[in-house]
Amino acid sequence: MFNGKKIIITGGSSGVEKILAQQLIKKGAHLALIARDEKKLLAVQNEPQNVESEISNFEVFSLSDIRC
């Protein structure tokens, strides 16, 4: 169901979001993990099961900072 899907997870460096990311990777999803703490994100990316994940560190202060 998630094999090959591209999914963005905010707050992916800890908690429920981190567990969700790990489960989606096992199901073949391609993830972009976004969180404020770059060190925690790097730790998540360096876990053996997450080697193909992409990480991004963002600081968003207002909705006008977000562009699609």
For residue 24, being part of any structural domain is answered with yes
Q: pLDDT for 34-44, tens place per residue? A: 887 878 888 87
For residue 48, being part of any structural domain is answered with yes
Q: How many CB atoms lie within 10 A of CB 32?
A: 15
Determine the average pLDDT of the residues in 18-23. 88
Q: Is the pLDDT of residue 61 over 70?
A: no
Q: Which pLDDT does position 62 carry in this prediction?
A: 62
Q: Is the pLDDT of residue 58 over 70?
A: no
For residue 67, being part of any structural domain is answered with no
For residue 64, being part of any structural domain is answered with no
Q: How many domains does the chain have?
A: 1
Work out the pLDDT band at 16, boundaries 50, 70, 90: very high
d(CA 66, CA 51) in angstroms, rounded, equals 27
pTM assigned to the model: 0.68
For residue 36, being part of any structural domain is answered with yes
Which H/E stretch holds residue 15?
Answer: helix 15-26
Domain span at residue 18 reads 6-58
For residue 66, being part of any structural domain is answered with no
For residue 14, being part of any structural domain is answered with yes
pLDDT exceeding 70 applies to what percent of the chain?
Answer: 69
For residue 38, being part of any structural domain is answered with yes
